[in-house]
Amino acid sequence: MAQTSNAASSTQSAFQRIMLAVDDSEATLRAAEYTKALFAGRAQIRLVTVAQNPRTLFPLGATAQGFLAAAREEIIGDARAALAKIEAIFAGIELEFGLVDLSVHHGNTADALLDTASHWNADLLVMGMRHHHGLLRWIEGTVSEPVARRATCSLLLVPEDSRVPTDRPPMRMVFALDGSACSLAGLRTGLKIAGPDTRLRTIYVVDRAVHLFDGGAADMLETAYLDQGCAAIERATHICSDQGCIADTAVIKTHRSHDDVPHAIVRDAAEWNADLVVLGTHGRRGIERWLLGSVAARTVRLVDTPILLARSGETAAD
């Protein structure tokens, strides 16, 4: 039976220092709309853009210094124009600004955004993202994917092709749980941005796509996952109750073959008509990041709604 949140809108924002990554793409416009809808007037917002190093775009010899200088001026002018375009969306709202010139700071766009977010002590980084598939993805690549893998603050990604409106706060939020303290911390964070009329849903996915075990062992593993899922949902229900809200709950299963947890999360979100997916992530680095962060990274590639990767604050050295 469908249930609705009865929590009052929280006066304590989950995030106080919001950094919005800016470029000249449609994806950034969607991300800016969403940032304004969620946080304008309730948090400090900083717009940051990165001007590329023309030498990496035009690897010419020393005789082309005049051309490179002109190209740099044009690139910085374009970056400032992108900032001004996004500033107009926030008309009347106090903002901070940052422009990182890679001709001076070197590195790449992902490094520049991560370093800036860290130095500014951002607790949320917002980015638009464009989904690329097949050969185009390898040729062009994206900035959002490496940032999603390496960010140590929470990350809100807004797809350019989002199937839901981005000019209003979310009304139907899905929280994907895995039983860990990190996913429950993500639930607590997400509840702070839910409004009094926001519908909530917590899910746990049982991965039945097991290929390394015989039937008996697979059944035992599935039973263990079911028990873990029921325990995770019960803990989530208590957290929601403590916050004065209620949520739909479900333990769902992947298909036996040709399926995985990220696809199951995105499929359930689409069937329930969710407009924001929330995953709690650990923010670790090194080998643990690759093992434990793979579900979040693959979910990011699939979603057609905004997705919040809520960091627990737990970190570990490389």
Determine the Cα–Cα distance for residues 230 and 146; give it in Å rounded to an integer.
Answer: 33
Domain boundaries, the chain: 17-159, 172-311
Residue 317: the pLDDT is 33
Helix orientation angle between 181-191 and 215-242, rounded to the nearest 10 degrees: 40
Q: Cα angle vertex 213, ends 211, 214, to 5°? A: 110
Low-confidence ranges of the chain (pLDDT < 70): 1-13, 59-63, 132-141, 210-218, 282-293, 313-318
Residue 198: the pLDDT is 95
Residue 124: the pLDDT is 97
Q: Is 175 helix (H, G, I), strand (E, B) or coil?
A: strand
Which residues touch 129 (CB under 8 Å, ≥6 apart)? 27, 142, 144, 157, 158, 159, 160, 300
Domains 17-159 and 172-311 share a fold: yes
Burial 10-43 (b: 16+ CB within 10 A, else e): beeebbebbbbbbbeeebbbbbbbbbbebbbebb
Q: Which burial class, exposed, middle or buried, applies to 131 when counting CB atoms under 10 A from its CB (0-12, 13-18, 19+)? A: middle
For the chain, how far is it from start to end, CA to CA, in angstroms? 45
Determine the Cα–Cα distance for residues 91 and 80; give it in Å rounded to an integer.
Answer: 16
Q: Which burial class, exposed, middle or buried, applies to 103 when counting CB atoms under 10 A from its CB (0-12, 13-18, 19+)? A: middle
Are 37 and 89 within 8 A, CB to CB?
no
228-271 tens-digit pLDDT: 889 999 999 999 999 999 999 999 998 888 889 999 999 999 99
Query: How many C-beta atoms lie closer than 10 Å to residue 176's C-beta?
Result: 28
Residue 63: the pLDDT is 53
Determine the Cα–Cα distance for residues 209 and 78; give it in Å rounded to an integer.
Answer: 48
Determine the Cα–Cα distance for residues 61 and 75; give it in Å rounded to an integer.
Answer: 19
Q: Which burial class, exposed, middle or buried, applies to 306 when counting CB atoms under 10 A from its CB (0-12, 13-18, 19+)? A: buried
Give backbone dihedrals phi and psi of 81, rounded to 5 degrees, phi first. -65, -40
Classify domain 172-311 at the CATH superfamily level: HUPs (3.40.50.620)
> 17-159, what's its fold?
Rossmann fold (3.40.50)
Q: From residue 135, give the alpha-carbon distance in Å to each of 53, 64, 180, 298.
A: 25, 32, 36, 18
